Amino acid sequence: MLISWSFLRAFEKCPYQQKLIRIDKVRPKKIDERRFITGSVGHKFFEIWAKRGFDNEMNPAAAGQIFDGLIRRKYIKWRDESDCGRVRERVIKEASLLIEAVRQHGIDKISDSQIECFLLKALPDGRNFVGGIVDLITNNGSWIIELKMSADTKWADADQLIFYGLLLASIQRRYPTKLSFFLPIMPDIKDQLTEIEFTKHNFFNLYDRIKHLISMWDEREFPAIADLNTCHFCDVKEYCPSSPSHVKN
């Protein structure tokens, strides 16, 4: 079993939901990706630009060309073609903010960086793996940066960076010294690059949570956690007898 950060977070919110999806193979209803499309494209723009070495030729017009290229490659699929022009304008606007923030914080001057790096590590039991894609690793693994194309700090969950730090440490046999979220469209410059406070104890606690997930999975313990907010966003709630909607009926 591959344990990613998103899987760990989803399982802790509701084990039964993950049982329905991963064991019973219930197919969730297709999410309308237009809610997330600009953040996804902004992230892809950062990845492409970073792999080009943050070259000086990048500007909002070039961002528009990248956007058009992503459409041609079918990276973006539209349910409503009328969304394309509106989102293109927003992506170009956010790209200009991203360009400015990258240069303000000197990210384009960082050497020894790995972009969109996939990390995978087998756990001692030999049956399970921990893995994930880290946005930016610098300074020989001593600094991890996670990009979020949002001005909402709820996406800056410290546990996510600690998860990646634990994963990187298990591979390199040393813990990173810096963990940061890069939120380029935050209006306040000081909030754009936010360093997370952490100790080694945080890494140990997260590893315990991973082991707890594995233990529950092996014991086939999948309690349904009925919570109005969690259930509201669940895509398989119609199959769950404990969801608030079923209890109400």
Residue 248 pLDDT: 47
* 3-state per-residue secondary structure call for 128-160: CEEEEEEEEEEHHHCEEEEECCCCCHHHCCHHH
Q: Where are the domains of the chain?
A: 31-109
CA–CA distances in Å: residue 188 to residues 113, 157, 168, 193, 247:
26, 19, 30, 10, 45
- What gap in Å lies between CA 97 and CA 39, rounded to an integer? 13
Question: What stretches in the chain show pLDDT beneath 70?
Answer: 29-36, 79, 244-249
Give 84: exposed, middle or buried? Use CB within 10 Å, 0-12, 13-18, 19+.
Answer: middle
pLDDT at 245: 59
pLDDT for position 31: 55
